[in-house]
Homo-oligomer: A and B are copies of this chain.
Amino acid sequence: MKTYNIAVLAGDGIGPEVMAEAIKVLDACAERFEFAFNYRHAFVGGAAIDTVGEALPPSTLACCEQSDAILFGSVGGPAWTHLPPDQQPERAALLKLRQHFDLFCNLRPAKFYQGFNHLSPLRSDICAKGMDILCLRELTSGIYFGAKERTATAASDTQTYQRDEIRRIAIKAFQAAQARRQKVTSIDKANVMASGILWREVVNEIAQDFPDISVEHMYVDNAAMQLIRDPSQFDVMLCDNLFGDILSDELAAISGSMGLLPSASINSQGFGLYEPAGGSAPDIAGLSIANPMAQILSAALMLRHSFAEEAAASAIENAVAACLQTHCVTRDLDPNQTVSTAQVGDTIAQMI
């Protein structure tokens, strides 16, 4: 039987609770689709700082290296905000994993689920037009990983993009658009940034290989505006690391249902890290009210992108959609519900 090794990094806050439900659902998939999962649990984030003294211990990194994919919960919380920025759990764990495994392609799908439009902070007439956006963010270059300098009186950061770095994420965007609505909106600040000009040039070059896909270039400030005015105009958004960070969070806010948003960060070998778009939500940790759907949908992305198990991935996504239809949801999606984290997981697992 085919066996997949998964590094399970549940992390802090609600991470462990929602991870337990994702594993339940993965087990149901294994049974139905006849493969096996080998889960390797490892500490990460604040939990790792507290036990081993660092957010991403070598043993955790080794565990990830020996696995076929990383299923990540979430890290961080008030207990660790006093640490210097570069030791904080989010940064120390995530940036290192991204760089170490060359996870250049970050995928953040965001859409309105039928019956849950009203969660969006946007007006209902705008929501009625629909939203189904796949945001692709370059994740291993740009201002995040460029040279940094600090003197007593000044500080600087450099953003450098190589043609090849832009090319490989752009290709992913055009490929994604082929399986969607054939449109790529590439975001830059080419009127101000040299790297923005190069970004636009390379995207236009790649576009020539995808004559069926329409490509549009949009300045990041305008994109921040257009997302609010009419999110239905976007299909695939293609962003650099920094702009993707900002716009994908704006997108998450617009969707209104952070608890439903998964994300994938993959490299060119198909290895990937899969995590909910939301944070560790320490305020509701341990209360059994956290929404596990984003973690479960992240597991679906893992099945699709790292294991090429499309049938199982779709089965999870359909089960989540069905669970939403029956209104078996945690209170973030419906304040009148008292359904627990585990009940949502059970329902989805049964529907696989």
Contact = CB atoms under 8 A, between A and B. Distances in A.
Given A121-B123, A121-B228, A228-B121, A194 B155 contact: yes
Interface stretch (A33-41, A146-154, A266-274, A329-337): A146-154
B144 A192 contact: yes
A121 B122 CA distance: 6
Nearest to A156: B160
Residue from the set A88, A123, A252 with the largest chain B CB neighbour count within 10 Å:
A123
B224 A157 contact: no
Interface in A109-124: 120-124
A85 interface: yes
Interface stretch (A11-19, A242-250, A293-301): A242-250
Given A122-B122, A148-B194, A247-B224, A158 B157 contact: yes
A327 interface: no
A253 interface: yes
Contacts of A225: 249-250, 252-253
A162 to B, nearest CB: 5
A161 to B, nearest CB: 6
Contact of A88 (B189, B191, B194, B242): B191
B161 A195 contact: no
- Stoichiometry (number of copies): 2
Interface in A209-234: 220-222, 224-229
A256 to B, nearest CB: 9
Decide if the interface of chain A is mainly helix, strand, loop or mixed.
helix
B192 A143 contact: yes
A139 to B, nearest CB: 12
B156 A242 contact: no
A62 interface: no
B154 A121 contact: no
Given A144-B192, A154-B198, A195-B157, A228 B242 contact: no
Contact of A221 (B85, B153, B249): B249
Interface string A171-190: 00000000000000000011
A254 interface: yes
A155 B197 contact: yes
A252 B164 CA distance: 36
Contact of A143 (B159, B164, B191, B197): B159
B155 A158 contact: no
Nearest to A94: B191
A85 B195 contact: no
A213 to B, nearest CB: 22
Interface string A187-208: 0011111111110000000000
24 contacts: A85-B197, A91-B191, A120-B123, A121-B126, A122-B123, A150-B197, A153-B162, A154-B161, A155-B194, A156-B161, A157-B158, A157-B193, A158-B159, A189-B242, A222-B249, A224-B247, A224-B249, A225-B249, A225-B250, A225-B252, A227-B253, A228-B250, A228-B254, A250-B250
Interface of A: 85, 88, 90-91, 95, 120-124, 126, 143-144, 146, 148-150, 153-164, 189-198, 220-222, 224-229, 242-243, 245-250, 252-254
